[in-house]
A and B are shown apart, each in its own frame.
Chain A
Amino acid sequence: MRRRTLLEFARFRYLKVAALLLALSIAAYALDRPPVAPYGGTWLGYALGTAAAALMVFQLWLGVRRRHHRGGGRLEGWVSAHVYLGVALMVLATLHSGFQIGWNIHSLAYALMLGMVITGLYGLYLYLRIPRLMTANMGDESFADLLLKIADLDERARERVDQVPGATGDAVIVAIECTTVGGGLFRLLSGRHPDCPTRQALLRLQEPGDDPDTTRAAHQRELYSLLLRKESLLLRARRDVAYRARLDFWLFLHAPLAVATFAALVAHVVATLFYR
């Protein structure tokens, strides 16, 4: 049986809550005849703004709860509500703004909120997709197994590299000593290593020697076989690193955007009340 995702929690309870909230808000917005044009200062604008601010506080509360779990329902339910009410927040805040955008703290709060929700949805997508990809990538091995096998192949290659002197041997030594599974932000997120030393060594080992029947040629073939196996393991290890980095990275966007949205929301409320 397929495992139920957090979206389906309690038979879509929070989807229904969010849909009801949205239906009421959109109907009120459509029926409202504001004095000038729809904006945050009409009675409906204030109501939508208050509801959106309450949702925003609830969204942040999840961040607090993740660290200090003190009962009050399953975390899965909280995350389910977090997702659905986050989308509702986006629509409510849009209606609250009355589609009036400018270069000010009010629109900044709105833009940050949009960024927060969109990165949140990206995170949700990753959470729904990446664990399955990680399982498929790993098979019955763990990341530590892959590293162990890579190190083992390196050891074996090291035992044979003395038999292949010259530039080819040097390339193999570089492949053994300088190959990485991590790297900078691009390598971590993409899992791609354009100038991988193992690949360079493999290209060198592919070059045919003067006499294919010599002992040196046999060693070269053996090294090629070892590095080829190492490369396939490297690909999987790097993919695993990339998956984990991606699962981590979206929070580097989502969390600061959430806190920035809250800060801008406070400034927005103070500014609105200060100059009425």
Chain B
Amino acid sequence: MIRCLLVEVTRNRKAQPIRIERAITADSLRVGRGADCAIHLPDHRVALHHALIRDADDGGHYLEAEGGSVGVDGELRHGAELAPGTRIAIGPYQFEVEVPVDGVDLVLAVELLHRRPREKAILERAPATLSELGLSKRCLVSWMGALIVVAGLLLPLLQAGSPAVRQALAGLPLKPMQAWNPGPLLSGHQAFASECDKCHQRPFEPVADSVCAGCHQAVVAHASPLVATTMRCAQCHRDHKGGKGLVQGDRPLCVGCHEALGRRAGTSPAGVSGFADGHPEFRLSFAARPEQPRARRIAQSDRRGLVEDSGLKFSHKAHSGKLRVPSDPQTIRNMSCADCHQVDRGGLGFRPVTMKEHCFDCHSEKLDFDPPQEAYRLPHGPERAVMDVLAQHYLARALREDVPPHRDGAAAAPAAQVVAAAAAKAQRASVALVDDMGCGFCHEIERSGDSGAWKVRPVRINGNWLPAARFAHDRHRSFACADCHEIGRSEKSSDVAIPDVARCRECHAGEVPSRGKVASTCAACHRFHQAAVAQPEPAVPAKANR
């Protein structure tokens, strides 16, 4: 138990001490700013619980630092013996231990030595907050907002809305409207990239199709008139996307409509949902013969219908491998597909196979006639020309051989007889051409009645089997022809060896990539801007094949 006399010392104007005494009795005395402290020091330089006075083991008293530091004779200590005469500094206060009086164990004189200084002085030397530094959120907000509104909205609007401003800015590097440009134009549109109003003619309205048609006049409309009335150019052709703008996926371009077609009258192909598993079987186009009103399209599953009527006799089997050349039996020739089928310049199809270029070298003897006396050669042309050559040839020979020069007394054969005999010979020779040694070797012959008259059936080699699609032979040159066309055992020209859709699917997937296959959109084979499936034309027009 400590019986303490606390003496609070203040000074009057003459600096003389005024002592106010107060007795405190407790087990221990807490010194601090806190209200619960027995020795309460109301100054913020003192900690809440600054120190504790307790009994020492030797019967004296001890002051122990708690929340603050304690200075004894100018030095900081953790505690101090409270012997008379000791001076202890706690914050701005000085505690002096005096000699105990009767009934009291401890006498402590407490005096505030250091008046409260001006603590704000240090804050006045330098800014301690961002606002004192001069930074203003309001200012920053206003400037940034205004800058963006002016540069990103007002200037482009002004340029877009006023031709005068456009003209004024034309020569300057400043192009405010470019701030609105969402992305690079297609390379073909780059020439007028800075003239937004060239396409965007009316503000807040979509680009009209007529604007596109202004330049793209030759573009063919899609087959269905419905498309022309319900679709805009920009629905598929999105510019400002760089090179990607014209490439469309299957769904928006084709499948979106064709999957549901068929329910609408007169639309085809129907029920197409992609190449991988939603493509109908191929229907091959057979060119129309004169007597037929239009080309026929026959599904590949109809094997009996797949018969080509070309008017020729030809065996692919007999024209492949090592062969003796008929016109020159001493020569052996190794025949391959490319000897006759050469890809055309566009890389899509083939140059026409002609007699003159591809057959004549080996089969020239088929045009020879009137052996063995003298081999004469017929032209490869219309029957009339062949007949004329024959008639002229036999008449000339008759005049040369059967009508000898006048001799004395000898009567010359009548001219009419000679001419008739020559004509008969020509007729016999022409009939001989019908068999396998003449025209009939390659051509189908049409005979008319019993008179022996005949003519060659017009040649109609099917040129484009799939006119609604584009197949680039050139891009498939890494494959052998026989990989797709099964012609190794074909002996007749009526055989059709166009690969079916299953064969294509061995390498081609649909739009979605598949492992080990080529991803193929509809547009890989088909064109959108295609009016209708064109009438198939023969690859070898009759006049060209001389």
Contacts and interface: CB of A to CB of B under 8 A. Distances in A.
B521 to A, nearest CB: 12
Q: Which size bracket describes the interface of B in this complex?
A: 35 or more
Contacts of A145: 44-45
Contacts of A148: 44-45, 116-117, 119
Interface in B133-176: 133, 135, 137, 140-141, 143-145, 147-149, 152-153, 156-157, 160
Nearest to A253: B140
Interface stretch (A50-58, A71-79, A126-134, A152-160): A152-160
B152 A108 contact: yes
Contacts, number: 195
22 contacts: A35-B249, A35-B252, A36-B244, A104-B178, A104-B182, A105-B153, A112-B148, A151-B118, A151-B119, A152-B114, A182-B125, A182-B132, A185-B130, A187-B126, A188-B130, A248-B131, A256-B145, A259-B144, A263-B152, A267-B148, A270-B153, A275-B196
Chain A, interface size category, equals 35 or more
Interface of B: 44-45, 47-48, 67, 69, 74-76, 91-92, 114, 116-123, 125-133, 135, 137, 140-141, 143-145, 147-149, 152-153, 156-157, 160, 178-184, 196, 200, 203-207, 235-236, 238, 241, 244-245, 247-249, 251-253
A37 B137 CA distance: 40
Contacts of A150: 119, 122
B119 A147 contact: yes
A255 interface: yes
B180 A274 contact: yes
A276 B67 CA distance: 72
A244 B129 contact: yes
Given A152-B92, A188-B128, A263-B145, A181 B249 contact: no
B44 A151 contact: no
Nearest to A63: B141
Contacts of A272: 182
Nearest to A244: B129
Contacts of B181: 102, 104
Contacts of A268: 152
A241 interface: yes
Which of A33, A39, A255, A260 gathers most chain B CB within 10 Å? Answer: A260
A188 B133 contact: yes
Contacts of B137: 251-252, 255-256
Interface in A15-39: 33-37, 39
B196 A267 contact: no
Contact of A274 (B148, B204, B248): B204
B247 A36 contact: yes
A266 to B, nearest CB: 7
A247 B21 CA distance: 50
A33 B251 contact: yes
A174 to B, nearest CB: 12
Contacts of A181: 122-123, 126, 128
Nearest to B149: A263
A31 to B, nearest CB: 12
Interface string A130-170: 00000000001110110111111011100000000000000
Nearest to A272: B182
Given A105-B179, A188-B130, A271-B180, A178 B119 contact: no
A162 to B, nearest CB: 16
A108 B238 CA distance: 22
Contacts of A276: 200, 204-207
Question: Considering the complex of A and B, which 6 residue pairs feature the smallest CB-CB distances, nearest first?
Answer: A182-B128, A267-B152, A180-B126, A151-B117, A271-B180, A35-B252
Given A39-B241, A155-B117, A140 B123 contact: no
B179 A274 contact: no
A141 B45 CA distance: 10
A184 B127 CA distance: 7
A225 interface: yes
A256 B144 CA distance: 6
Contact of B141 (A245, A255, A267): A255
A252 B204 CA distance: 37
A35 B235 CA distance: 8
Interface in A222-264: 222, 225, 229, 241, 244-245, 248-249, 251-252, 255-257, 259-260, 262-264
A104 B151 CA distance: 11
